[in-house]
């Protein structure tokens, strides 16, 4: 079963806010000068910010903020975030792979930005509320 796609807008302001909330102040997430010096196209989103947005999608699908039992991803492609008001968008979709006898649902998740997958092996196990 396919779950409805959820779309998240990501701007530079979001990255600054996430840096402060998470304590991850790596300059590749806020300085174009630094990011380009280390060979990136420009400022990129924190991988963990992308994962957090996917986490939001998963808890929304599950219908409960405390539903996630297991959650893992591989970061395969950076999410470049331009310095403008639009930023970029991350689209998150998923299919239900399995519903186990003990009430757990396993999801295979896909996250794309500008039509390219940014995660692989993105999987979540959730306990659906009764």
Partner 1 sequence: MSLDPSFVGRTYPPTAPYQVGREKIREFATAIGATDPAHHDPEAARALGHPDVVAPPTFPVVVTMAASRQIIEDPALGVDYSRVVHGDQRFAYTRPVVAGDELVCVNTIEEITSRGGHGFLTTRTDVSTSAGEPVVAVWSKIVVRGEA
Using CB under 8 A as the binding rule, whether residue 72 contacts partner 1 is answered as: yes
Distance CA 26, CA 108 (A): 29
Sole binder of partner 1 in the list 11, 59, 88, 110 (CB under 8 A): 59
CB 24 within 8 A of CB 67: no
Sole binder of partner 1 in the list 1, 2, 23, 84 (CB under 8 A): 23
In the three-class reduction of DSSP (H, G, I as helix; E, B as strand; rest coil), residue 127 is classed as strand
Using CB under 8 A as the binding rule, whether residue 89 contacts partner 1 is answered as: no
- Is the CB of 74 or the CB of 97 nearer to partner 1? 74
Among 8, 3, 14, which Cα is nearest to 91's?
8
Chain residues 26-55 in contact with partner 1, contact rule CB under 8 A = 38-39, 47-49, 51-53, 55
CB 10 within 8 A of CB 26: no
Residue 9 to residues 4, 77, 83, Cα–Cα distance (Å): 17, 17, 13
**Smallest separation, CB 86 to partner 1 (Å):** 16
Which parts of this chain interact with partner 1 (CB under 8 A)? 8, 14, 17-18, 20-24, 38-39, 47-49, 51-53, 55-56, 58-59, 64-66, 68-75, 121
């Amino acid at each position: 079963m396919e779950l409805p796609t959820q779309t998240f807008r990501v701007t530079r302001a979001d990255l600054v806010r996430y840096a402060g909330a998470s304590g991850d102040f790596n300059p590749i997430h806020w300085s174009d000068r630094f990011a380009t010096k280390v060979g990136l196209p420009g400022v990129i989103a924190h991988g963990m910010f992308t994962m957090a947005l996917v986490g939001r999608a998963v808890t929304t699908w599950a219908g409960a903020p405390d539903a996630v039992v297991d959650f893992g991803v591989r970061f395969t492609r950076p999410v470049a975030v331009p310095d403008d008001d639009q930023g970029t968008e991350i689209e998150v979709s998923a299919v239900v792979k399995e519903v186990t006898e003990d009430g757990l649902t396993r999801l295979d998740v896909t996250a794309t930005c500008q039509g390219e997958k940014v995660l692989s092996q993105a999987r979540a196990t959730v306990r659906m509320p009764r």
